[in-house]
């Protein structure tokens, strides 16, 4: 699936005013400071060390330091600023995410978002968007939709139409994974309208490609063909060959359900040629194309050819499914 998710991030540092630490303080000095500090300063020191070690890619160690910071902030209770505990939870989340412990990462980040929203922090929206992407990556699509709906409203209130459009795009992708094609179509259409108002041509085309997919799943071939062709025109013009291939697949599928079986077969065979000759071979994508080809061959009465494709695909999917 070509989802083109857009929100990204990494463990964030608090401002020096908040953590009481100076940019010129070395990591060695921070370690030496720990036995000499207590309370809030000690928690901030652990957090700062976690952030620096995270930047080096030592996620296990950074996670342990962030968890220690969280424990101290928690023990301090109301004495500690809410943002301090939130930043510790977010640091835990980022490290867990890097360690591929996806559900734990999402749980930690969810706590950070809740704390930041309670304190009316402007950082909440960015972390909420990150949380939505993590939920999507963990295949928790229901949670993705719940999270991103709040983000849409917050972005619109802030006048950030680009942010809202990206949120809606992710909602559409989540509904698509759940097989909710009507809801997916609605989300992508809303995202498209916002992207169009911002004159973001590529993003409009990304939406058109996914709108075509939803329309095909709903059996609306004529509308799907129009949307798929629009997206294809943009990607061809932009020389975006990878996205062009995904759009071309939707064109072929739409041709088939509108009764243009031979034209659809020709298109699918063209897509297969591009996909197999490309440097970015995607085996799942290739299998999907071949399955559609087998289906249209059956419609055309070419049963033996369809059987041979499906026999080959069985050998491939035995490996990929394992």
Whether the predicted pLDDT of 48 surpasses 60: yes
Whether the predicted pLDDT of 228 surpasses 60: yes
Give Cα 60 to chain centroid, integer Å: 24
**How many angstroms separate the CA atoms of 269 and 203, rounded?**
27
- The mean pLDDT of the chain is 91
pLDDT at residue 319, rounded to an integer = 79
Whether the predicted pLDDT of 5 surpasses 70: no
Write the CB contacts of 279 (distance below 8 Å, at least 6 apart in sequence). none
pLDDT 10s digits, 244-299: 999 999 999 999 999 999 999 999 999 999 999 877 778 889 999 999 999 999 99
pLDDT 10s digits, 126-164: 999 999 999 998 899 999 999 999 999 999 999 999 999
pLDDT at residue 285, rounded to an integer = 92
81 or 86, which is more confident: 86
Token pair listed for 170: 């992710």
pLDDT at residue 16, rounded to an integer = 41
Where would I find the H helices in 99-200? 102-118, 124-137, 141-157, 161-178, 181-197
- 198, 172 in Cβ contact below 8 A? no
Token pair listed for 223: 């509308």
Whether the predicted pLDDT of 36 surpasses 50: yes
Token pair listed for 132: 């939505």
Whether the predicted pLDDT of 93 surpasses 90: yes
pLDDT 10s digits, 180-210: 999 999 999 999 999 999 999 999 999 999 9
Q: How many CB atoms lie within 10 A of CB 187?
A: 29
For the chain, where are the E strands, in sequence order? none
Is residue 45 very low, low, confident or very high in pLDDT (cuts 50, 70, 90)? very high
Token pair listed for 275: 């996909």
pLDDT at residue 320, rounded to an integer = 73
pLDDT 10s digits, 235-254: 999 999 999 999 999 999 99
pLDDT at residue 13, rounded to an integer = 42
**Over residues 56-65, mean pLDDT:** 96
pLDDT at residue 61, rounded to an integer = 96
Is residue 17 very low, low, confident or very high in pLDDT (cuts 50, 70, 90)? very low
Whether the predicted pLDDT of 321 surpasses 80: no
Q: How many CB atoms lie within 10 A of CB 20?
A: 13
**Over residues 311-315, mean pLDDT:** 91
pLDDT at residue 12, rounded to an integer = 52
Write the CB contacts of 37 (distance below 8 Å, at least 6 apart in sequence). 45
**Over residues 207-226, mean pLDDT:** 98
pLDDT at residue 10, rounded to an integer = 61
């Amino acid at each position: 699936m070509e989802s083109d998710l857009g929100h990204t991030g990494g463990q964030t540092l608090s401002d020096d005013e908040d953590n009481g630490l100076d940019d010129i303080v070395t990591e060695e000095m921070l370690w030496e400071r720990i036995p000499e500090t207590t309370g809030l300063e000690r928690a901030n020191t652990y957090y700062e060390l976690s952030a620096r070690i995270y930047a080096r890619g030592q996620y296990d160690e950074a996670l342990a330091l962030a968890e220690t910071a969280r424990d101290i902030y928690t023990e301090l209770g109301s004495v500690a600023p809410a943002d301090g505990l939130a930043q510790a939870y977010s640091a835990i989340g980022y490290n867990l995410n890097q360690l591929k412990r996806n559900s734990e990462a999402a749980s930690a980040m969810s706590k950070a978002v809740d704390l930041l929203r309670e304190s009316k922090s402007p950082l909440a929206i960015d972390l909420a968007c990150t949380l939505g992407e993590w939920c999507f990556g963990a295949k928790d699509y229901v949670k993705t939709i719940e999270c991103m709906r709040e983000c849409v409203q917050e972005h619109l209130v802030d006048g950030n139409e680009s942010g809202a459009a990206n949120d809606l795009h992710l909602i559409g992708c989540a509904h698509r994974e759940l097989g909710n094609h009507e809801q997916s179509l609605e989300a992508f259409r809303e995202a498209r309208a916002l992207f169009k108002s911002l004159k973001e041509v590529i993003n409009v085309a990304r939406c058109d490609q996914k709108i075509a997919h939803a329309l095909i799943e709903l059996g609306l071939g004529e509308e799907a063909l129009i949307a798929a062709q629009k997206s294809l025109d943009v990607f061809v013009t932009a020389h975006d060959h990878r996205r062009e291939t995904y759009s071309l697949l939707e064109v072929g599928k739409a041709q088939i359900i509108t009764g243009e079986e031979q034209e659809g077969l020709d298109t699918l065979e063209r897509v297969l040629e591009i996909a197999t000759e490309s440097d970015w071979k995607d085996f799942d994508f290739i299998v999907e194309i071949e399955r559609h080809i087998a289906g249209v061959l059956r419609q055309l009465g070419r049963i033996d050819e369809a059987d041979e494709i499906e026999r080959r695909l069985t050998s491939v999917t035995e490996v990929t499914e394992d």
